[in-house]
Structure 1
């Protein structure tokens, strides 16, 4: 028997391959999808496989999500929204130098992207992500990129740039941050903190700002 809310399901055995995690059903589905999308591939993962990995029947899954696209959209947005919250706080901070705030955003973003158990940033490259279904993710990502642009423009070096050059530096910094996902995947033994520090330093050099 399934519960209709976000509590634990009762009355059925869990799938043997996934121990009881204590998560609510939707969170279990997201965790299962994150694992399978990043190990098997999005196209190769069926809704049945996600449901079984989460310890439920496929029919029960649809009480919590509409399907694979909803799971992918939620996972993608989860890679951006914490960094955006940090960026908003840093933009509102009128005490610290802009170079320091930009470096902190870079470090935080890299730590969030690389610090999880699964390489969710690799899902950005999926062709499915270009469709209208993922407009929410693209909107949040665009807002984060604009926060980078504002912080870059607020630095002494960034403030001296013409618009086209500012846009280019922003593209380069933002691409650097997201590209760290692939670099970290090829060197998983290196600490995330080390990647974060090195990326922040490289971003400041791209902007032409002094290290914070």
Structure 2
């Protein structure tokens, strides 16, 4: 079931309590303190490393006192979990919309999902997808993140199951191709880490094209399906 990676942060409830005094004043019109914590952690986790980053250093980068940080998050793992979940939620939203567009071909919808997902993973100043590889992410604390990723993968699988007309995949083959498709899309994380200056748009389009080849789409159909997929994404804008 598709429910609601680019980085997003949930809206802060209006009823949030007022925090302790800040270590320095926030400029008028700036981000909310909670979002500043997430932005500071994203920078430090991806540049300095998760283990080497302390809550004190995150608070200092965000312009907060360390005690104020704990008003918004109960520790470093909670911040990491929020960042990771924020890399999946936007793609789940796109996936849900594409799955419902049954008037469009599943191949075009699959192209659009892969292109959008890869773009979201390449967007933003920090390569948060690289944090997926942290050993800490395998613990129960990150169960919600893994659930969201599983829901996203199920959207890939559902579209793949009906893609490439005339090609009925056995369950084992479908599961294997879904793994390949999902892994192919997330491989942009490693490409971005090795080559930070790679054009995100070109990388996302190439990834989506390759995904359709994995799905069994004939090369002669690729240009047409790419245009159809681009149209689906443009309609969401």
TM-score by length of 1: 0.91
Correspondence 1:1-212 to 2 at 5 A: 12=22, 14=24, 22-157=30-165, 160-210=168-218, 211=222, 212=225
Structure 1 equivalent of residue 9 of structure 2: none
Contact 1:38–1:120 (CA under 8 A) maintained in structure 2: yes
Structure 2: tracts of 5 or more residues without a match: 1-13, 226-237
Contact 1:6–1:24 (CA under 8 A) maintained in structure 2: no
Shift of 1:184: 2.0
Contact 2:22–2:63 (CA under 8 A) maintained in structure 1: no
Return the alpha-carbon distance in structure 1 between the equivalents of residues 29 and 46 of structure 2.
20
Pair 1:132–1:158, CA change in 2 (3 A): farther
Paired residue total: 207
Return the alpha-carbon distance in structure 1 between the equivalents of residues 98 and 216 of structure 2.
20
Contact 2:114–2:185 (CA under 8 A) maintained in structure 1: yes
Q: What's the C-alpha RMSD, in Å, of the aligned pairs?
A: 2.2
TM-score by length of 2: 0.81
Contact 2:21–2:68 (CA under 8 A) maintained in structure 1: no
1:23 is paired with a residue of what secondary structure? coil
Shift of 1:187: 2.1
